[in-house]
């Protein structure tokens, strides 16, 4: 399209999982739908490009899931990782709706495969996309194309016209021209603001300069800022986010899943002072991997080092980058530019504290330390088999939790009270309703899929009535 004005029933802003689920759902309800994606076509899809799986409640085992995962268990897991910082009614609604999502999203062309192994421990709870997030995304785009949904790429939204909670139009930059898009309903699914370092610094301070952004550089929060500036009620803490420890050698943006490290449970983690600072064996990795970004962010220079020995090298999925290798702890310290005496003392003290036990990373085993200021409560084994290895890690921000408040219909709520007339949101831009803090693997995709479908159906109903 090269025209300078466009009219449609439902405008979807964004191009990832939530946006496509909304667009497809709206189209299947009879609405004319336009998707505007701020990124070029090659980079379409936001953080969905880097995902692997989705967490949904289900009653029985399937070809790709090893057993049932009840709504109550899902809720318990979410409650534990968020420490109660969630809208219970909305979260339980999402969990209930997630049960039908595996069938619905398969009907949109997405395919699944059995879980990956290793420390993920997700074979029963999470459905893995065949071919990963990009294949999942391509399937949704293919379905959208077949349904006649129009998509504009490289079309960032510059402004929104909103009148007392009623969306009127958006202005997007299309083919170098300001293009006015009028629509009867709006679905905002444009992600968080994690790629906006200046905005991150408002909450985190200067340390945000050392953060790496795991996903798209296009998630700058422009649409979110426009919505909040137009009277939509905010929810969430600007410093809360999905933040994991990723390889410090990763690029500033878009490193994706291949820079994530899942080896914390097999060793110890030290800071620049060569000191441990948290229990590496507190809980199963899918329920704790997303706390390590924040933990590292609190350390000097926002960097830490995962250290393990040769017996653990093949027990986890490696990073894109090879680990740093040494024949002794002192040599490893030298390569990492850490104080050798302190690192040796940390490792020796840890080894002395390890208790006899039977190692099994698939259960809460009895391998633990005793007598340390910071104990390792499970999966503790001595670091005594050279060569020794290390990965340097920094905070890797996936998405932010400050967003738009919504109700069970995914309808935006206004700061002045009540719901918006014709504005809905889905995905990371409203994830803070469910995720006040913490994270469990696959929940981001659940939020996007479930609320994307709800938002699309609600937007279509408003547009077509």
pLDDT of residue 2: 45
| Tens of pLDDT, residues 286-326 | 778 889 999 999 999 999 999 999 999 999 888 899 999 99
Lowest mean pLDDT among 116-125, 216-225, 252-261, 440-449: 116-125
Judge whether residue 55 has pLDDT over 50.
Answer: yes
Q: Which residue has the higher pLDDT, 117 or 382?
A: 382
Rounded Cα distance between 200 and 193, Å, is 8
Question: Once rounded to an integer, what is the mean pLDDT over residues 319-348?
Answer: 97
Mean model confidence pLDDT for the chain: 95
Judge whether residue 3 has pLDDT over 80.
Answer: no
Confidence class for position 122, pLDDT limits 50, 70, 90: confident
| Tens of pLDDT, residues 387-433 | 999 999 999 999 999 999 999 999 999 999 999 999 999 999 999 99
Judge whether residue 1 has pLDDT over 60.
Answer: no
Rounded Cα distance between 366 and 359, Å, is 7
| Tens of pLDDT, residues 152-206 | 999 999 999 999 999 999 999 998 899 999 999 999 999 999 999 999 999 999 9
| pTM given for the model | 0.92
């Amino acid at each position: 399209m090269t025209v300078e004005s466009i009219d449609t029933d439902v405008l979807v802003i964004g191009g990832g999982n939530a946006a496509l689920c909304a667009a497809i759902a709206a189209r299947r309800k009879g609405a004319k739908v336009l998707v505007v994606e701020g990124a070029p076509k090659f980079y379409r899809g936001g953080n969905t490009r880097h995902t692997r799986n989705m967490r949904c409640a289900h009653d029985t085992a399937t070809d790709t899931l090893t057993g049932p995962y009840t709504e109550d268990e899902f809720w318990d897991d979410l409650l534990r990782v968020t420490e109660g910082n969630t809208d219970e009614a909305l979260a339980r609604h999402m969990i209930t709706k997630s049960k039908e999502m595996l069938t619905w999203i398969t009907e949109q062309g997405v395919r699944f495969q059995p879980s990956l192994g290793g420390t993920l421990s997700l074979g029963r709870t999470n459905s893995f996309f065949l071919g990963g997030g990009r294949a999942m995304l391509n399937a949704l785009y293919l379905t959208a194309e077949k349904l006649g949904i129009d998509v504009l790429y490289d079309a960032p939204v510059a402004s929104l016209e909103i009148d007392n909670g009623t969306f009127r139009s958006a202005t997007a930059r299309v083919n170098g021209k300001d293009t006015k898009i009028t629509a009867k309903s709006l679905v905002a699914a444009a992600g968080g603001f994690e790629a906006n370092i200046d905005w991150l610094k408002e909450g985190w301070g200067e340390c945000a300069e050392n953060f790496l952004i795991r996903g798209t550089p296009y998630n700058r929060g422009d649409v979110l800022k426009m919505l909040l500036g137009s009277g939509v009620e905010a929810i969430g803490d600007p410093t809360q986010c999905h933040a994991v420890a990723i390889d410090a050698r990763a690029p500033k943006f878009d490193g994706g899943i291949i820079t994530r490290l899942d080896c914390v449970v097999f060793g110890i983690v030290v800071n620049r002072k060569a000191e441990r600072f948290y229990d590496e064996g507190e809980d199963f990795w899918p329920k704790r991997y997303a706390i390590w970004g924040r933990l590292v962010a609190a350390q000097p220079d926002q960097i830490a080092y995962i250290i393990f020995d040769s017996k653990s090298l093949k027990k986890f999925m490696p990073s894109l980058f090879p680990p740093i290798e040494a024949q002794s702890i002192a040599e490893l310290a030298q390569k990492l530019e850490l104080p050798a005496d302190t690192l040796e003392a940390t490792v020796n003290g840890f080894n002395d504290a390890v208790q006899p036990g039977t190692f099994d990373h698939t259960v809460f085993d009895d391998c633990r330390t005793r007598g340390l200021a910071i104990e390792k409560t499970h999966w503790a084994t001595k670091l005594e088999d050279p060569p020794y290895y290390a990965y340097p890690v920094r905070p890797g921000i996936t998405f932010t939790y400050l967003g738009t408040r919504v109700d069970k219909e995914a309808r935006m709520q206004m700061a002045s009270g009540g719901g918006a007339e014709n504005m809905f949101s889905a995905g990371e831009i409203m994830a803070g309703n469910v995720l006040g803090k913490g994270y469990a693997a696959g929940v981001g995709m659940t939020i996007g899929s479930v609320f994307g479908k709800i938002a699309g159906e609600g937007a279509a109903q408003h547009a077509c009535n």
